Amino acid sequence: MLKDKNIIVTGATRGIGKEIALTLAQNGANIAINYRNYNEEVEELINSIKEFGVEAIAVKCDVSKSDEVDNFISEVKNHFSSIDVLVNNAGITKDGLLLRMKDEDFNSVLDVNLKGTFNTTKSISPIMIKQKHGKIINISSVVGIVGNAGQCNYAASKAGVIGFSKSVARELASRNINVNVVAPGYIDTDMTKSLPDKVKDEILKSIPMKKMGNPKEVANLVLFLSSSLSDYITGQVINVDGGMVMA
């Protein structure tokens, strides 16, 4: 489905991002990932990707820093010669109630989740415009749609990603560049596994399908949006949430 496509996936060393990278590689794509600190997780992921018979590279990059992003995009371009898809998955949380939230906790979440998406999209756009095609897939969250107590910083960043993506989709549509958003709900990852059972039970009550999703279900949607099957889709927000949020 993605044979010989070159794809960047940010924040790919764990959770949803890791599953996205592996799923795209399994379907024939060469993968570039970023890391802040090289460790065993990065090395293992690169090796796992290569087992699918595709290329994989890892470049040191903090997406919140525009100079590092420019270097990252440049290195990937030089290595692969073209970049077909960008998946902006890098994200952090620093939860806390509004009255207790420190300025740095608010700012750092927006710097990575929203400004990071801006940095990579801005840096890669000239490349995609020149090659006359490209797909940008931004990972948001249902929290960016409905909000969540204790996550005003995260909700603001993910809502920002949605507004940003729709605006960029309008700017780049005539250049044959698709920009879409994937908004996961509660997905079974290491982060959710650590939640108390009581909290999990309350979460499940809010999901019509009465179960959490898994990273593969998010990755499969990213696979579709990365492929030619989605060529006439742009500016859309697609939830993967078991029906928790219905517009």
pLDDT, residue 170, reads 99
Q: Which helix (H) or strand (E) holds 32?
A: strand 30-35
User: Which candidate in 35, 38, 154, 186 is catalytic?
Assistant: 154
- 191 versus 107: the higher-pLDDT residue is 107
Q: What average pLDDT does the segment 174-202 reach?
A: 91
Give the model confidence (pLDDT) of 34-49 as tens digits. 999 999 999 999 999 9
Q: What average pLDDT does the segment 170-186 reach?
A: 98
Tell me, yes or no, whether 34 lies in a domain: yes
Number of separate helices (H) and strands (E) present in the chain: 10, 7
Q: What is the four-CA torsion angle of 72, 66, 225, 216, rounded to 10 degrees?
A: 70
C-alpha span between 94 and 101 (Å, rounded): 9
C-alpha span between 129 and 167 (Å, rounded): 16
DSSP-derived secondary structure letter, 6: E
* pLDDT band per the 50, 70, 90 thresholds, residue 195: confident
Binding residue per annotation — 158?
yes
Tell me, yes or no, whether 247 lies in a domain: no
Q: Which helix (H) or strand (E) holds 60?
A: strand 56-60
Count structural domains, the chain: 1
C-alpha span between 110 and 106 (Å, rounded): 7
- What amino acid is encoded at 63 in this protein? V
Binding residue per annotation — 219?
no
For residue 139, the cross-strand partners are: 182
5: closest CA among 129, 146, 133? Answer: 133
Q: What average pLDDT does the segment 233-237 reach?
A: 99
Tell me, yes or no, whether 38 lies in a domain: yes
Binding residue per annotation — 145?
no
* pLDDT band per the 50, 70, 90 thresholds, residue 192: confident
Domain hosting 125: range is 6-240
Tell me, yes or no, whether 246 lies in a domain: no
* Out of 36-45, 145-154, 168-177, 184-193, least confident range: 184-193
Binding residue per annotation — 38?
no
Q: Is residue 38 annotated as a catalytic residue, yes or no?
A: no
120: closest CA among 76, 58, 174? Answer: 76
C-alpha span between 228 and 187 (Å, rounded): 26
Q: What average pLDDT does the segment 124-139 reach?
A: 99
Tell me, yes or no, whether 1 lies in a domain: no
Q: Among the residues of the chain, which ranges form H helices? A: 15-26, 40-50, 66-80, 103-110, 116-131, 143-146, 152-172, 190-193, 197-205, 215-226
Read off the CATH number of the domain in which 25 is found.
3.40.50.720
Tell me, yes or no, whether 235 lies in a domain: yes
Binding residue per annotation — 14?
yes
* pLDDT band per the 50, 70, 90 thresholds, residue 190: confident
- 236 versus 198: the higher-pLDDT residue is 236
Binding residue per annotation — 89?
yes
Tell me, yes or no, whether 155 lies in a domain: yes
